[in-house]
Amino acid sequence: MNNFKVRLRELRSDEKLKQSEVAEKLKIPEATYSNWEQGRREPSIDGLIMLANFFGVTVGYLVGAED
């Protein structure tokens, strides 16, 4: 999921949001979101779906399976 952290950071930056703002909107701890974006942890399937819905992309895009 190496592409995941890069795409997650890009999507957040494109929306001009801080990590804390995304975490607040998703109702998750800021540390959880930060760990995902830093590549320290990977989200569950439910987490991937939540992120994809939030950013308006597919799970496949998030994980680098599609462009």
- The pLDDT of 2-11, averaged and rounded, is 92
- Letter for the amino acid at 21? E
Sign of CA dihedral 29, 30, 33, 34: negative
Q: What is the pTM of this model?
A: 0.92
**Spatial distance between the Cα atoms of 3 and 7, rounded to a whole number of angstroms:** 6
**Spatial distance between the Cα atoms of 38 and 33, rounded to a whole number of angstroms:** 9
Q: Please give the pLDDT value at position 67.
A: 81
CATH code of 2-62, in short, is: 1.10.260.40
Q: Maximum Cα–Cα distance for the chain, whole Å?
A: 29
Q: Please give the pLDDT value at position 1.
A: 56
Domain ranges of the chain: 2-62
pLDDT tens digit sequence for 12-59:
999 999 999 999 999 999 999 999 999 999 999 999 999 999 999 999
